[in-house]
Structure 1
């Protein structure tokens, strides 16, 4: 969470703008997301209640002794209905918060209480589970499923998924495949193997493309001059 406002913040001063750290749970509507990914603009649609924050706001000095690498030597875990599904460490992050603040503040004013999310720890989202191991994938979230996230020093947060009341959301071919969810009412377990392989390749391609796109966006340029050609006059 941002505490000090700023714009075009250099990386070496970015951490001075952080007021607190907390846990962020990003609830993703994969049916909407998969319809928007082909547009090439990345996921954009969000909904009320799509993010859970908390339960604590922890100031940087409280965990400074655990600083390591690009983050902190703190274990991060996720559980679904009490079953452990993900575990990693904060210091395994690809881009640290200094990178993220320097990038997001380019041409943009960051204000106190703005929240910047870092993304998930590896295996921290069900989409990744499905894309990498569809044969062992246990299914998408169902109404009432409890998701519990925990980070050492930051506490833990829990929330439950809710029923879909927007029947117009889904479009044929865009929604997650219920056949891979053994708990889904009426699920069919005799999917054609070729159909499953095609869906697997599509999900893997989407995941790889989105990671590559975000990686290119977040990677700081080596020099401003190398990225922006000199003006030759005229209006843009």
Structure 2
């Protein structure tokens, strides 16, 4: 099954994608309901939509296929980390702690975009894409899940583009925080959720999803990799995310950026800092294709967001008692 959300003549609809059509869910049922109910419930609802009128996909505006409870994004492709950690001579220096356990950050669930959306970046000179695949969780919430239990929470998969302003990100992470404003302006997800049962035949003997992923800018291929090059499996990522914590239906968990050109910054690092290929520019069309998951498209909008000015940090004395009289 393929599950999507879309706008049809100004109205929000949710449902199943069948060939070139979008079939709405029965009244009162949402994608969130399907996720909470799990795959068996989703199949029951799907059977009930057989024969219902479909909207042409070409006539609707695709939205992110889920309104996520949370978005965690990992970094589990060693080749990507090599490029991002390279020195001025292009020599990689992967930090030893990276190999110890998977690492992730939380990104903004309120700035998700569907396929075909125009992305308004902040005022940046180094706009970048990141080619990823995400799992969408369903079924029961879970805490401290082992990998086998975590695997049962995978409802489906979608392509993910973690848009990045690398200059802003670099300044933030110099103070050992972030990424924050270098990332949270936009994430693209879609074009739909492909349910886990559709891809069961592509899980290899080690538990990795064996699919080819590629990205192009304005029709020129810039990166391609296999998802099976991940250092940890998706169930292992979910297990780690749930450690001393909680995962719930609707959570989105990204693989992190693929290697071999999964983002421009990786290529810049291996080139010793040279911006080749160049950062994304206004009007660029970024297309991500993952076999059996579809194509996720994002367009860089010419209108950039410029920040309201705030002052630099004020250097303050360090009083230890209140310096303003208490009000009666």
Greater strand fraction, Structure 1 or Structure 2: 2
1:2 aligns with 2:137: yes
Q: Which is worse superposed, 144-153 or 131-140?
A: 131-140
Provide TM-score, normalisation by structure 2: 0.49
Query: Whole-Å Cα distance in 2 between the matches of residues 59 and 98 of structure 1?
Result: 15
Match of residue 251, structure 2, among 104, 114, 117:
114
Structure showing greater radius of gyration is 2
Q: Which residue matches 1:165?
A: 305
What are the equivalent positions in structure 2 for 1:114-193 lying under 5 Å apart? 114-122=251-259, 123-133=261-271, 134-135=273-274, 137-162=276-301, 163-167=303-307
Query: Whole-Å Cα distance in 1 between the matches of residues 231 and 197 of structure 2?
Result: 22
Provide TM-score, normalisation by structure 1: 0.66
Q: Which residue matches 1:29?
A: 165
Query: Whole-Å Cα distance in 1 between the matches of residues 165 and 274 of structure 2?
Result: 22
Partner SS, residue 170 of structure 2: helix
Q: Which residue matches 2:117?
A: none
1:47 aligns with 2:184: yes
Q: Which residue matches 2:148?
A: 12
Deviation at 1:63, TM superposition (A): 1.0
Match of residue 200, structure 2, among 48, 55, 64:
64
Kindly indicate whether the alpha-carbon contact (under 8 Å) linking 2:264 and 2:277 is maintained by their aligned counterparts in 1. no
Kindly indicate whether the alpha-carbon contact (under 8 Å) linking 1:70 and 1:93 is maintained by their aligned counterparts in 2. no
Deviation at 1:168, TM superposition (A): 6.0
Query: Whole-Å Cα distance in 2 between the matches of residues 103 and 44 of structure 1?
Result: 22
Query: Whole-Å Cα distance in 2 between the matches of residues 16 and 119 of structure 1?
Result: 21
Runs of 4+ in 1 over 6 A off after TM superposition: none
Q: Which residue matches 1:88?
A: 225
Kindly indicate whether the alpha-carbon contact (under 8 Å) linking 1:70 and 1:92 is maintained by their aligned counterparts in 2. no
Which structure 2 segments of 5+ residues have no match? 1-135, 310-328
Kindly indicate whether the alpha-carbon contact (under 8 Å) linking 2:215 and 2:262 is maintained by their aligned counterparts in 1. yes
Query: Whole-Å Cα distance in 2 between the matches of residues 70 and 29 of structure 1?
Result: 33
Greater helix fraction, Structure 1 or Structure 2: 1
Deviation at 1:70, TM superposition (A): 4.0
